[in-house]
Chain A
């Protein structure tokens, strides 16, 4: 009988010396990723920097035709998490794994340079919208789940350096899996420097000396020279890569956006050729008629110019950083005396900027000369800054966040509407999740910038 008990006891040993770790390897996900695949994923997020009704409302390009709510500037947080978790973390992973990058996908230095340029671009976008945000301590995963906020000034200075590094390390040789420029490093180099240039101009009010210095550094390093250099995200004519506006307008039948009266009022009187791309004539009258921004009752989609068909095409391009922007920036720099040439150069850059913008939006120069000859549009040294800013605003159509930043910096156009008495916000509020998941740093940042209050009307560092 003893034997039975011995057998019984030995069954306890069952399973004690096994190695089951082989079973714990996840077969459902890859355990390796190449640098350019991660970069490509970060590139896929680019259109989301522009594709948002909120941005269009902040710049007052579009007014709501139904369910009017977001255009009334309601208080409430907006999350920046997706930008960190998504593109920025992918790029960070490339940057901290430099030694493991595969040279077969293009020179490692170039992979790193592209990652830096994109990271700088995303960070710039973030800080302009929210103000102080996590930067130095961000993207460290388990090493820091509660990253402190850096000041916007600090972030700008670091991004300038990051862009310098990228500019300097680019060598010849394309990289693979690049869905933006097909791996063309010359274009990446120009993009990085153009971003640098536009960032420098943002300092015009808060630190013009630094702004001028960085502006000229970027200029010397080589910026965009044609619309072919534009940072454009080309959506594809398939459901998996279609534009945001297509999914709203066509897939979900949302005829929810009309051009604002503010925009139509600037463009229609001067027969701006871009208007036909931006919007459709009103169905009732066949005329271009803007909808008053913030109107809440009795709108009829028949009565107003709805969003243009090319804008909501399935494969519509999304313009992010453009040659015309660089030209407007140079026009303004010349006028400000940051670069030489004064009004003559400013006028030349201004005229070229408008032409390139018309070219970008309509595909031809037609109507550009006529537009530039219109009174009020033709360059006038007396109100050149306003003219440049207003034309830039028209050019930046559908890239609301950028246009809104430029409005905050320049104050133009100066006829934006205050819906229900609410002024145009000066920043976006932090998301409520930060208040609980990163409370101490969130509170410190609010204290430092806005006396502790998270609101839409606190001003970011450069907006003084």
Chain B
């Protein structure tokens, strides 16, 4: 770190030299709109003939220093006519800007960083300003897009994961196999959004979180293949273009911004649990040889006796070191025992940025420090970001620029998914356990306290082996078995731009994304698992060498914009992954050298791995405009990827028609029609065409080799997507209200995917080119400023996307594609895609039902019969996604609220299923229709009421009762032992929700209050992230908006999801 500060100090020194020689005449004033006299913030003010400039502040005020020889100021603002003002001897100049309905030439950053006027674009893009991403200090740029862009679906993970996965999809699923993520580009540099997590364990999150959100000026989402056509093979799934903040040329002074936020995090939305029956497998008390009743510590379920205060030996009383050793204590419920495990987390974020420039340079430097204490005990994350962006005019027409970003993450994260870490608490646990007693997990003599122990000796009544059976004390897990990770990352670019002719600009860039990711985990002595140590190191080096020529010229009514470029992509990626086997030689010695047996490849498939890849590309684009009203674009790109034998071409065409140009003045201030067509390709995995053997086990010096389960296919070609898109953009009443509507259709053909095949063929899967997936949908964005006045302004943005992903064909003779499976207790459920159906069907075992009545079929014991695991429960994908953002400014108070929602989609919850099966869930102590608790003996009126029909040929006492209707009462442990183990039907939930995701309430202290303080402005705000789930269809305790399971591309089941975290805090912004 010290080196960084030295570097920073040096840069400041360099910049302040420029600052020092700015001199002479000072002009100030206020800029308003002629329409309503409201202050206009953000108006650009330039001194003609120089590169000096500034902008108005939030109240429309400005202050600018003119070089002695200059006399003319130019005021410009989007949507208004430029004003040219002679200064003469004045020092106070107020300006009233006039709206220009024709001047709506908003500049949009398009593919490859090419700036285009919005009206010339024949495809949909949507921009979100950085302020709209950071208003509640969300740390993950991808996560902060949730609900803010029509057609973009973000599936997040719990805040407890700290930096966990935020998955993004644009316009539904566009590949048969469900994969495909948008390319993330920062200032023109493609960066990795890889994920090193599995579906369980620590969630390291998607790597784009290394972007400092405070550096983001804007995010522009290129949604369809036409928009991303110039990215060719890498852009098929859309592009997230991020532009970072830059210093301004000719800025009068150095601008320093401080940004601090502190928030506290609490777990919310914990699943409800029953508090009547405690740990054990039956309601009958077990007794020690001396007659004392004891709790069954070997049972990790809550089917035990009633928690009525009976004095019993609880687990603590079996530890001779424990003060309650040998004592009886009351058997009572601990209703908050799971909640008690969570701590109050906190996030402290401090950022500073310094920006400025001279007439020939601009610079911006930012530093950010984030420290998170997790809600799970002993978890934390620290992140540091450093960003430097520089621009220097080397000669009259030659500009050099550099953007350098450094990010460092160091974390100790909780395990998530399945039963990892503390996740078993909601799945296999005793309601009678006192979590606060487990907290001190080690006795003074070093013995660890656990709760899941062996049965006491039937002769002595003692426990002598304190090695836990299946579960560790969760605190032991948190403090003795931590997982640590860290990542150092550099990304950015250096470039030269040469303005050869007024109409021709040439530029060259070297872009890079480099990181080293380390992951290690420890398993200590004294727990249930074999002690061990696992370590993995990943290194990525990606370089892009880019050349671009940009030509633009106008002849009378015609305008031409042409671009030609070339790119060389070069990636080298390696990892080394090892884990000890068979235990560690010395307690506390975590090193591969401590491995008792030959180490394994740990968390990865191979102990060492190398990947090399190149793509060589050439591309071009031509846009022709007529009368600033009609535009036609054509682009092509040629990619030659080393993963494929041959190069391929990807063309696109688009057009736009600004019809409002032809209309008389009307409420409609802007109207554009746009259509586009594009063909985009997608690359195949590295080495997908390489035929190899696999590595088998090693037995006593014999290294075995195996035929791999996946059959590689050397004949793979890239897949082609053909997409059509048409849309209309309308703005009304001087742009106060806007409507963007897009209809799109994309057909991805000849997809490259892993096809699961009958294992009897000798292979589990093969890679083929086949299939056709079609996505159709609409996107709607409504923007509006319902109220706009000096004291009160209200802005609103509403986004909606409806998408249908449908499989049209797979491969000849293949009508089912297996996408995923999960197995528990020998029962599997699957994610399939079927020809002719929506993408992503959940498939599993369902109740067998009588065809006529729909009643369930029962066996002789009254337990439901079930189908094989072939029942199709429908698609996991949502029908609609969207968001609604409102921002208000009332006098000096600003407020913002962000709501996002999803309609439709399904998921499977294993947490819920297990909570029922193990007797934790309240349903297992429900009152039946006879008024008895279901846990009461069936003979005494208890039991779960089951209405059904005996299955065919069911015999009871030799009599065939098949087909008879019957109402039975079944012991809940037996009943749920079947339904919550074998029948998935009951554990599928609708994923619809409406969520209040972000809220901010701020107050601005301006100069009038701050007086002589050397401060320009201060804003202090209360912020809340994830404060409430307004509505959800799934039961309490499950969060359908946080289903991300590590790197899995489709979220279709929940298993040991981390608890939802609600975050409340304060944000302070100071501008100097």
- Give the interface centre of B284, B642, B756, B977 by most chain A CB atoms within 10 Å: B642
Do B827 and A76 touch across chains, with their CB atoms under 8 A apart? yes
Q: Is A303 interfacial (CB 8 A cutoff)? A: yes
- A196 → chain B closest CB, angstroms: 24
User: What 1/0 flags go to B446-459 for Cβ under 8 Å of A?
Assistant: 00000000110111
Alpha-carbon distance between A81 and B758 when the two chains are bound, in angstroms = 7
- B708 contacts across to A, CB distance below 8 A: 29
- A151 contacts across to B, CB distance below 8 A: none
In-complex Cβ contact of B763 among A76, A89, A133 (8 A): A89
- B686 contacts across to A, CB distance below 8 A: 24
User: What 1/0 flags go to A1-20 for Cβ under 8 Å of B?
Assistant: 10010001101111110101
- B582 contacts across to A, CB distance below 8 A: 238-240
Q: Is B762 interfacial (CB 8 A cutoff)? A: yes
- B765 → chain A closest CB, angstroms: 10
- A12 contacts across to B, CB distance below 8 A: 564, 566, 618-620, 638
In-complex Cβ contact of B610 among A4, A28, A144, A253 (8 A): A28
Q: Smallest CB-CB separation from B617: which chain A residue?
A: A15
Do A24 and B687 touch across chains, with their CB atoms under 8 A apart? yes
User: What 1/0 flags go to B686-721 for Cβ under 8 Å of A?
Assistant: 110111111111111011111111010100000000
Alpha-carbon distance between A11 and B507 when the two chains are bound, in angstroms = 13
Do B469 and A253 touch across chains, with their CB atoms under 8 A apart? yes
Alpha-carbon distance between A35 and B705 when the two chains are bound, in angstroms = 9
Q: Is A226 interfacial (CB 8 A cutoff)? A: no
With A12-B564, A12-B620, A435-B870 as contacts: A4 and B504 at CB distance below 8 Å: yes
Q: Is A172 interfacial (CB 8 A cutoff)? A: no
9-residue interface stretch from A36-44, A209-217, A359-367: A36-44
Alpha-carbon distance between A12 and B506 when the two chains are bound, in angstroms = 15
Q: Is B598 interfacial (CB 8 A cutoff)? A: yes
Q: Which of B445-499 contact A (CB under 8 A)?
A: 454-455, 457-459, 467-470
In-complex Cβ contact of B618 among A13, A77, A88, A142 (8 A): A13
- B275 → chain A closest CB, angstroms: 23
With A11-B547, A239-B596 as contacts: A23 and B642 at CB distance below 8 Å: yes
Do A37 and B705 touch across chains, with their CB atoms under 8 A apart? yes
- B69 → chain A closest CB, angstroms: 35
Q: Is A171 interfacial (CB 8 A cutoff)? A: no
Do A31 and B759 touch across chains, with their CB atoms under 8 A apart? no
- B480 → chain A closest CB, angstroms: 17
- B450 → chain A closest CB, angstroms: 11
9-residue interface stretch from B399-407, B861-869, B1000-1008: B861-869
Q: Smallest CB-CB separation from A15: which chain B residue?
A: B616
With A15-B647, A69-B825 as contacts: A89 and B692 at CB distance below 8 Å: no
Do B706 and A77 touch across chains, with their CB atoms under 8 A apart? no
- A15 contacts across to B, CB distance below 8 A: 566, 568, 616-618, 638, 640, 647
Q: Is B286 interfacial (CB 8 A cutoff)? A: yes
Do A145 and B758 touch across chains, with their CB atoms under 8 A apart? yes
Do A44 and B697 touch across chains, with their CB atoms under 8 A apart? yes
In-complex Cβ contact of A85 among B691, B762, B826, B830 (8 A): B762
- A43 contacts across to B, CB distance below 8 A: 704
Q: Which of A102-146 contact B (CB under 8 A)?
A: 133-134, 138-142, 144-146
Do A16 and B982 touch across chains, with their CB atoms under 8 A apart? no
In-complex Cβ contact of A76 among B457, B707, B826 (8 A): B826
- Give the interface centre of B606, B711, B757 by most chain A CB atoms within 10 Å: B757
With A26-B687, A146-B758, A454-B868 as contacts: A300 and B470 at CB distance below 8 Å: no
With A15-B568, A23-B612, A85-B759 as contacts: A436 and B697 at CB distance below 8 Å: no
Do A141 and B618 touch across chains, with their CB atoms under 8 A apart? no
Q: Is B760 interfacial (CB 8 A cutoff)? A: yes
Alpha-carbon distance between A21 and B643 when the two chains are bound, in angstroms = 8
Do B690 and A141 touch across chains, with their CB atoms under 8 A apart? no
- A145 → chain B closest CB, angstroms: 4
Q: Is B981 interfacial (CB 8 A cutoff)? A: yes
Q: Smallest CB-CB separation from A146: which chain B residue?
A: B758
Q: Is A410 interfacial (CB 8 A cutoff)? A: no
Alpha-carbon distance between A145 and B861 when the two chains are bound, in angstroms = 41
Alpha-carbon distance between A240 and B756 when the two chains are bound, in angstroms = 29
Q: Which of B804-848 contact A (CB under 8 A)?
A: 813-814, 816, 818, 825-828, 830, 832, 843, 845
Do B609 and A28 touch across chains, with their CB atoms under 8 A apart? yes
In-complex Cβ contact of B696 among A20, A44, A89 (8 A): A44
In-complex Cβ contact of B707 among A27, A75, A90, A134 (8 A): A90
Q: Smallest CB-CB separation from B860: which chain A residue?
A: A421
- A400 → chain B closest CB, angstroms: 16
- B1002 → chain A closest CB, angstroms: 50
Do B868 and A76 touch across chains, with their CB atoms under 8 A apart? yes
In-complex Cβ contact of A30 among B455, B469, B705, B763 (8 A): B705
Q: Smallest CB-CB separation from B689: which chain A residue?
A: A24
Alpha-carbon distance between A23 and B764 when the two chains are bound, in angstroms = 27
Q: Is B10 interfacial (CB 8 A cutoff)? A: no
In-complex Cβ contact of A77 among B282, B825, B868 (8 A): B868
Q: Which of A264-319 contact B (CB under 8 A)?
A: 283-284, 296-298, 300-303
User: What 1/0 flags go to B851-865 for Cβ under 8 Å of A?
Assistant: 000000000110001
In-complex Cβ contact of B760 among A81, A254, A300 (8 A): A81
- A23 contacts across to B, CB distance below 8 A: 612-614, 642
- A213 → chain B closest CB, angstroms: 30
Q: Is B55 interfacial (CB 8 A cutoff)? A: no
- B818 contacts across to A, CB distance below 8 A: 433, 436-437
Alpha-carbon distance between A387 and B759 when the two chains are bound, in angstroms = 40
In-complex Cβ contact of B761 among A4, A18, A141, A177 (8 A): A141
Q: Smallest CB-CB separation from A78: which chain B residue?
A: B826
Do B690 and A138 touch across chains, with their CB atoms under 8 A apart? no
- A74 contacts across to B, CB distance below 8 A: 826, 982
Q: Which of B104-159 contact A (CB under 8 A)?
A: none
Alpha-carbon distance between A446 and B564 when the two chains are bound, in angstroms = 62
Alpha-carbon distance between A84 and B473 when the two chains are bound, in angstroms = 41
Do A300 and B702 touch across chains, with their CB atoms under 8 A apart? no
Alpha-carbon distance between A125 and B828 when the two chains are bound, in angstroms = 24
Q: Is B394 interfacial (CB 8 A cutoff)? A: no
Q: Is A33 interfacial (CB 8 A cutoff)? A: yes
Do A141 and B286 touch across chains, with their CB atoms under 8 A apart? no
Q: Is A86 interfacial (CB 8 A cutoff)? A: yes
Alpha-carbon distance between A60 and B430 when the two chains are bound, in angstroms = 32
- A322 → chain B closest CB, angstroms: 21
- Give the interface centre of B284, B689, B762 by most chain A CB atoms within 10 Å: B762
Q: Is B641 interfacial (CB 8 A cutoff)? A: yes
- B281 contacts across to A, CB distance below 8 A: 66, 297-298
Alpha-carbon distance between A429 and B827 when the two chains are bound, in angstroms = 13
Do B528 and A253 touch across chains, with their CB atoms under 8 A apart? yes
Do B816 and A436 touch across chains, with their CB atoms under 8 A apart? yes
User: What 1/0 flags go to B637-677 for Cβ under 8 Å of A?
Assistant: 01011110101000000000000000000000000000000
Do A253 and B467 touch across chains, with their CB atoms under 8 A apart? yes
In-complex Cβ contact of B500 among A4, A30, A238 (8 A): A4
- B454 → chain A closest CB, angstroms: 8
Do A21 and B566 touch across chains, with their CB atoms under 8 A apart? no
Q: Is A449 interfacial (CB 8 A cutoff)? A: no
User: What 1/0 flags go to B614-629 for Cβ under 8 Å of A?
Assistant: 1011111000000000
In-complex Cβ contact of B692 among A9, A30, A439 (8 A): A30
Q: Is B554 interfacial (CB 8 A cutoff)? A: no
Do A145 and B564 touch across chains, with their CB atoms under 8 A apart? no
Do A8 and B704 touch across chains, with their CB atoms under 8 A apart? no
- A79 contacts across to B, CB distance below 8 A: 759
What are 15 A-B residue pairs whose CB atoms fall within 8 Å in the complex?
Answer: A11-B618, A14-B616, A28-B609, A37-B704, A40-B699, A41-B696, A76-B845, A84-B760, A145-B755, A147-B758, A177-B702, A179-B702, A238-B597, A300-B455, A433-B830
Which 9 A/B pairs are nearest by Cβ-Cβ distance? A81-B759, A15-B616, A239-B582, A41-B704, A20-B642, A29-B692, A89-B762, A432-B869, A23-B642
For the complex with contacts A77-B869, A85-B762, 10 further pairs of A-B residues with Cβ separation under 8 Å are: A15-B640, A24-B687, A28-B609, A34-B705, A85-B759, A134-B758, A240-B597, A297-B281, A421-B860, A434-B758
